[in-house]
Structure 1
Amino acid sequence: MAPSSEIYIESTDTDPAVRAQSALHHTQQRLQGRLATLTEVEPEAAEAGESVRAALTEFCAGELRRYLSAADRTLYATASGAAETRLLVRGLRTTGGMLDRDVDLLSAAGDAASATTLARAIEAVLRAHLAVERNVLLPALVGLPGADLPALVGDLDTLLAGGTLEDPAVVDVREIPHGRRHPRIFARFARLAPGESFTLVNNHDPKPLRREFQAAHPDAFTWEYVESGPERWQIRIGREAGADA
């Protein structure tokens, strides 16, 4: 029997995927709310226009950029190789690049009025960008083979807090419960750059996993047996050099 902490009713508040979406939505709301508050200040009415410019620059170059980077390394990286979400990720990365460019322009703004105008443009793009994440990407990740949304949101929160993600060269899943093995492996694959690889260690030949890889990342991965039983299997799994990361 599964531990009580793993018993939940799907698509309700007890579902870990629903809770993960809610937690990420809260983070997004906080970002939008902070930026909206800063852009509401009229620089000519402020006692010191420089303080307005400085606050906008600090927030956008700091907290906002950390979120964009963390989302790319976790949510986007996982969805980028799957046929059904690849174009969606490309679109999100395009608007993310637009935001990144405008943050550079904001940092170079010479006065508070210019900074506020740029920040309002950033706010408008960010609102649309986060809506696509929330309403399209997250539901797609819930149904994506090998994706573990609660784990991905947990990794995103780790990066936002200044932590680092483990990218081990060897992923040994022999002591991990069967239902948690594939999400762990897919999450490691998602963080590979083109041409990189890791070694999977398992206690059986993971043929079902290979079929899942072929379904989710057709022709974008490599699979090389290093050791083939009878008690231990080692497979070097990589991302094709020409594949999208």
Structure 2
Amino acid sequence: MPGAEIFIQATETDPAVIARTAARAAHERLRSRLAELTAPGCHPLAADLAHFCRHEVRQYLVDAERDLYAPASKPADGRPLVDALRVGSAALNQQINDLAVGSASDSARIGSMIAGALDLYLRIEESVVPVLVELAGPERSALAADPPAAVEEELGDAPMVIDVRQIARGGRHPRVFARYARLAPGEAFILVNSHDPKPLRREFEAIHSGAFSWDYLRTGPEEWRVRIGRIAADV
């Protein structure tokens, strides 16, 4: 009944409310720290600003992709909205890359640009979180529920293996991005799939352009294996 639905959506148990609250908390943390590092008259070490952007801001972008964008893009009608958000994410990643290679004198200028772009990006994301959760479904959005369990195998000193064939479809790409986010520079893991994971590679190129390696170890016909790594330029 309509009245009951309105009441439920106004409570803290509604998935959209939970997701929006979680997003706002993360957004405020990023805004607050970045404001400290780019405040007028403040001259933080360029390394501090670069470290924050490369690790904290970039980690948030990875989490947003894993927890919200990837699940919400599964329905066809969710892709245009998610693609637009991914453009913003890719632009921020490029600015962070520019910060990493820029001189110390460029840090304040690039940092201010990142702060402005991030604030706009977060405001847009915050406004559409309920829509993304609805598209993803509460059971698939990790902002509204626990993420799916991972199927991972450690083989001695060899890279970790993630066999996505044993993971529900809605959790495959988020699981892979979550694993990538935990890699140290030079580390890698092996992805096992039943087909060529070209869509996943396109997502990596959009989000982590220039920061990952992709090497085919086996190319079918029944099993595909890809070594995915974090390259040193991403630190």
Q: CA deviation at 1:165?
A: 6.2
Q: Which amino acid aligns with 1:169?
A: R
Task: Identify the residue that residue 78 of structure 1 maps to in structure 2.
Answer: 71
Aligned twin of 1:140: 131
The answer as to 2:166 corresponding to 1:170 is yes
Q: Once the 2 structures are TM-superposed, how far is the Cα of residue 102 of structure 1 from its aligned partner?
A: 0.9
Residues 17-60 of structure 1: per-residue CA shift (max 9 Å, x gap): 312320221111110111011100535xx4xxxx4312111100
Aligned-partner Cα distance in 2 for 1:153–1:65: 21
Q: Distance in 2 between matches of 1:151 and 1:75?
A: 7
User: Which one-letter code corresponds to 1:122 in the other structure?
Assistant: I
Kindly indicate whether the alpha-carbon contact (under 8 Å) linking 1:20 and 1:149 is maintained by their aligned counterparts in 2.
no
Alpha-carbon distance in 1 for matches of 2:175, 2:26: 26
Task: Identify the residue that residue 115 of structure 1 maps to in structure 2.
Answer: 107
Q: Distance in 2 between matches of 1:240 and 1:109?
A: 37
- Distance, in Å, in 2 between the alignment partners of 1:62 and 1:19 is 25
CA distance in 1, matches of 2:27, 2:169: 25
User: Is the Cα contact below 8 Å between 1:102 and 1:122 reproduced in 2?
Assistant: yes
**TM-score scaled to structure 2, two decimals?**
0.59
Cα offsets for 1:120-143 (capped at 9, x unmatched): 10111111111121111x121232
Percent identity among equivalent residues? 31
Aligned residues: 167
Q: Deviations over 1:139-161 (max 9, x none)?
A: 212322644366345668xxxxx
SS at match of 2:77: coil
* Max Rg structure: 1
Measured after TM superposition, the shift of residue 9 of structure 1 is: 3.1
Give the RMSD, CA atoms, in angstroms. Answer: 3.2
Q: For residue 142 of structure 2, give the secondary structure of its aligned residue in structure 1.
A: helix
Unaligned runs of 5+ in 2: 1-6, 152-163, 177-192, 204-235
Q: Quick check: 2:8–2:14 contact (8 Å CA) kept in 1?
A: yes
Deviations 1:59-80 (A, max 9, x none): 0011111111111122111122
State TM-score, norm by structure 1.
Answer: 0.57
